[in-house]
């Protein structure tokens, strides 16, 4: 069963994807921007998988969805630590 909030989140994420792809050169000016962009891509994949699991392979896609959420959160956390927490690489 598809929930409306899942579809809305995917649509909003796709809108942000258009922005990210259009402004990629400007986003690269952020320190360690690759980790931040990777985190967004992983979260977007999770949002897409949560909608797709309503149609087929429910258990497998649910597992992949949560794996993407975890990896995306870890990626953003590492980026945050590098930028704000004293990682020497970003400075």
Task: List, as one string, the DSSP characters of 61-75.
Answer: HHHHHHHHHHHHHHH
Percent of the chain with pLDDT over 70: 93
Mean pLDDT of the chain: 91
Is residue 44 scored above 90 in pLDDT?
yes
pLDDT (mean) for 7-29:
94
pLDDT (mean) for 82-86:
86
Is residue 52 scored above 90 in pLDDT?
yes
What is the pLDDT at residue 88? Answer: 61
Q: State the pTM of this model.
A: 0.86
Is residue 89 scored above 90 in pLDDT?
no
Q: Which helix (H) or strand (E) holds 79?
A: helix 58-84
Lookup result for tokens 């704000």: 84
């Amino acid at each position: 069963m598809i929930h409306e909030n899942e579809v809305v989140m995917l649509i909003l994420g796709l809108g942000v994807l258009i922005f990210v792809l259009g402004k990629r050169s400007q986003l690269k000016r952020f320190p360690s921007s690759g980790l931040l962009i990777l985190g967004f891509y992983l979260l977007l994949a999770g949002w897409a998988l949560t909608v797709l699991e309503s149609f087929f392979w429910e258990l497998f896609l649910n597992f992949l969805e949560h794996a993407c959420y975890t990896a995306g959160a870890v990626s953003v956390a590492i980026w945050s630590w590098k930028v704000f927490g004293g990682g020497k690489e970003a400075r």
